[in-house]
Amino acid sequence: MRIAIIDDSAARASILQEGMAALDDCELFIITERRGLLARIGEINPDIVLMNLGNPSRDVLEEYFAVSRALQRPIAMFVDESDDESIVASVEAGVSSYVVDGLAAGRIRPILDLAVTRFNAFSRLQQDLAEAKGKLAERETIDKAKRILMDSRGLPEPKAYAELRKAAMNQGKRIVDIAEAIVTAHNLMGNV
Amino acid sequence: MSTELTIGFLPLVDACLPILAHEHGFAEEAGVSLRLVKDMSWATVLDRLLYGHSDAAHLVAPLAIAATLGRGRPAQPLSVPFVLGLNGNAITLRPELARQVRPEGGMGTPAEVGAALKTIAQERSKAGRPLTFGVVHRYSSHNYMLRYWLAACGIRPDHDVDISTVPPPFCADALKQGEVDGICVGEPWNSVAVEQGAGEIVLSTAQIWRRGVEKVLALRESVLEEKREGVERLIRALCKAGGHFVDPANWERNAEILARPEYLDGSAELIRRAISDQLLIAQEGPLVHYPDFMFQHREAANFPWVSQAEWLYTQMVRWDGTPFDAEECRKAARVFRPDVYRSALLGTGAPLPGASSKVEGSLASTTVVGTQQGSMTLEKNIFFDGMVFDPNDIEGYISRLP
């Protein structure tokens, strides 16, 4: 079976590729470039096309499938009309799939399921990354607030941090919230 | 208690009404709170709608009908209780081509530009390198307007010229790379192409059909029934947003809101031009004021006329090459829901037409029309070639099309 993966994120495409390489008798083709997309699809002549839901070229591809005479068999969106559950799962995960009409559902479903799993894994990875970035920004804010306390009240660093923590505990807030308030107030007072 | 509704949209100026209803608090005031979800292709906007990620969508009108009729994918009945706007698109050609077909210093008339283009299209076709046009979707008003104009000028789409799909954000790039010779797209993407020197504007679609139906608010029929009260609140909010959108006092502010990263993520200056019906047609060229380039509010512009849905169906059978089917036509007509629009706006100051269908393209001058509520005049609504669409003779109309 020939599977084309179209994804504008090269990182996600490689995660998909890695996950699907284990499938038996499947040949994988990755396309990340918008230009020349239809020509590439024509060459590959895939049985299944997986594409990220947010890809702006989806309309281009759908039209190609609708009017192209290059493909002998029409390509249909998803598995079949009755298979709503897997469709919803794949839309949730952010993957759209186009399947050559007439392929047995039993052959398609494991591929789709795998793609959905890999897409979800990628989203989790991105979430972790965003969280890590958020943590980094929080640390910077806390450092800034510490410096303000050190400069304005002549406190040594450990004492400045202890003050932040005490205020957070007294007010039932997170340290970063207190730090943010200090930085904002400082900026508003014009003592930048 | 406020109803929550999620609305999908593409980054285009005519996504303005839901965005402004949310930003200016018209939605909250009406008792509905909105969550807006931006996407990059109509296929994705439609998927989210069909699989329940969104309750409603900013959608190209023909796609709502195509989805209902099951063209290109399994059929799912959609409903349109509100039209988000008329026209607002333009045709932009590669600069050297534009200069050959457009009179000096302005946009020209559709017949003029078409006649000049016909000669070039025939030469290119004979040379085996036919002119190629990009439209934003197969089932878009852009596709139907472009084809309507070309065919009426004696240029046969799919024979003399090729027409393919190009996503709006790539239109300027496709012109620059020579992938296409022209595009028909909504703002701000024509102006983006002009700014980059990739194209020059030759026509606005308002010149092809003075009152052409463009984007709609689409919902699944079942969702409309389930959330009927919330949808009616939304309609009242969108109507208020329309009044705000067309008031010149608000143009600056609204352009700034639409330009934000979470919405169009573009230039407030270009957006402001579109809102005020102005187009810079070429680099260093004149700033042309074309009244009613975009048409979001006056003359009950948001009323879903059944005759608009039927006209779109005629174009669908015309260009899909399928026979007219009375049952299909009835289904297409039923997508537009003037009954919901009326029920939402009854008792407000908004004018409500007395009829639900009209002869499209028949008004050559301002005409007073019968209303159920308020007073209403309709201005000129002609097609540039003078053809008239009478919903009582749909088959006859199709047979008269070139």
Look up residue B201 and give its DSSP letter.
E
Note the pLDDT of residue B123.
Answer: 96
Asked if A63 and B169 come within 8 Å (Cβ–Cβ), the reply is: no
Note the pLDDT of residue B255.
Answer: 97
Q: Which of A60, A67, A87 lies at the smallest CB-CB distance from B167?
A: A60
Q: Determine the residue of chain A that is closest to B321 in CA distance.
A: A67
Asked if B165 and A60 come within 8 Å (Cβ–Cβ), the reply is: yes
Cβ contacts (< 8 Å) between A99 and chain B: which residues?
none
Q: Quick check: B169 contacting A, CB < 8 Å?
A: yes
Contact, B292 vs B376, CB < 8 A? no
Helix, coil or strand: residue B102 = coil
Q: Which of B53, B74, B167 lies at the smallest CB-CB distance from A59?
A: B167
Q: Which of B39, B138, B177 lies at the smallest CB-CB distance from A63?
A: B138
The ipTM assigned to this model is 0.84
Q: Quick check: B330 contacting A, CB < 8 Å?
A: no
Q: Quick check: B178 contacting A, CB < 8 Å?
A: no
Q: Quick check: A77 contacting B, CB < 8 Å?
A: yes
Listed in sequence order, the residues at least 6 apart from B374 whose beta carbon sits closer than 8 Å to its beta carbon are B349, B350, B351, B352
Contact, B363 vs B380, CB < 8 A? yes
Asked if A91 and B166 come within 8 Å (Cβ–Cβ), the reply is: no
- Angle at alpha carbon of residue B265, lines to B259 and B267, rounded to 5°: 55
Contact, A48 vs A103, CB < 8 A? yes
Note the pLDDT of residue B189.
Answer: 94
Tokens standing for residue B59: 């959608």
CA B137, CA B391: separation in Å to the nearest integer? Answer: 26
Asked if B41 and A88 come within 8 Å (Cβ–Cβ), the reply is: no
Note the pLDDT of residue A81.
Answer: 55
Domains of chain A as residue ranges with CATH: 2-127 (3.40.190), 130-188 (1.10.10.10)
CA distance A189 to chain B (A): 29
Pairing of strands A95-100, A48-52: antiparallel
Q: Quick check: A35 contacting B, CB < 8 Å?
A: yes
What is the domain partition of chain B in residue ranges? 3-85+212-268+295-343, 89-211+279-288, 351-400
Asked if B72 and A91 come within 8 Å (Cβ–Cβ), the reply is: no
Q: Quick check: A62 contacting B, CB < 8 Å?
A: yes
Cβ contacts (< 8 Å) between B51 and chain A: which residues?
87-88, 91-92
Note the pLDDT of residue A83.
Answer: 65
Tokens standing for residue B63: 């796609």
Closest CA to A44 of A3, A95, A98, A100: A3
CA B275, CA A56: separation in Å to the nearest integer? Answer: 25
Asked if A60 and B40 come within 8 Å (Cβ–Cβ), the reply is: no
> What pLDDT, in 10s, does the model give residues B186-218?
999 999 999 999 999 999 999 999 999 999 999
Segment 81-120 of chain A within 8 Å of chain B by CB: 81, 87-88, 91-92, 96
Cβ contacts (< 8 Å) between A96 and chain B: which residues?
43-44, 47
Pairing of strands A27-31, B376-378: unpaired
Ordered mean pLDDT values, 10 residues apiece, chain B (402 residues): 91 97 97 95 92 95 96 89 97 96 88 97 96 96 98 97 92 94 95 96 96 97 97 98 97 97 95 95 90 93 97 97 96 98 95 94 89 90 96 97 95
Mutate to test the interface with B, among A38, A58, A99 (most CBs of B within 10 A): A58
Q: Per-residue b/e over A125-163, b at no fewer than 16 CB within 10 Å?
A: eeeeeeeeeeeeebeebbebbbebbeeeeeeeeeebbeb
Asked if A96 and B47 come within 8 Å (Cβ–Cβ), the reply is: yes
Identify the CATH number of the domain defined by range B89-211+279-288.
Answer: 3.40.190.10
Cβ contacts (< 8 Å) between A91 and chain B: which residues?
47-48, 51, 53
Identify the CATH number of the domain defined by range B3-85+212-268+295-343.
Answer: 3.40.190.10
> What pLDDT, in 10s, does the model give residues B229-247?
999 999 999 999 999 999 9
Asked if A60 and B177 come within 8 Å (Cβ–Cβ), the reply is: no
Cβ contacts (< 8 Å) between A56 and chain B: which residues?
40-41, 167, 169-170
Ordered mean pLDDT values, 10 residues apiece, chain A (192 residues): 89 85 86 88 88 89 75 58 71 82 75 83 81 86 93 90 91 90 86 52
Helix, coil or strand: residue A169 = helix
Note the pLDDT of residue A192.
Answer: 47
Q: For chain A, give the longest Cα–Cα distance.
A: 79
Interface A-B: count of C-beta contacts within 8 A: 62
Q: Quick check: A54 contacting B, CB < 8 Å?
A: yes
**Helix H or strand E segment including A141:** helix A105-153
Asked if B51 and A62 come within 8 Å (Cβ–Cβ), the reply is: no
Which pTM value belongs to this model? 0.86
Asked if B43 and A54 come within 8 Å (Cβ–Cβ), the reply is: no
Note the pLDDT of residue A109.
Answer: 78
Q: Which long-range contacts (CB under 8 A, 24 or more apart) does B118-123 make?
A: B118/B153, B118/B154, B118/B155, B121/B155, B121/B160, B121/B161, B122/B160
Q: Would you say the CATH fold of B89-211+279-288 matches that of B3-85+212-268+295-343? A: yes
Mutate to test the interface with B, among A59, A96, A98, A101 (most CBs of B within 10 A): A59
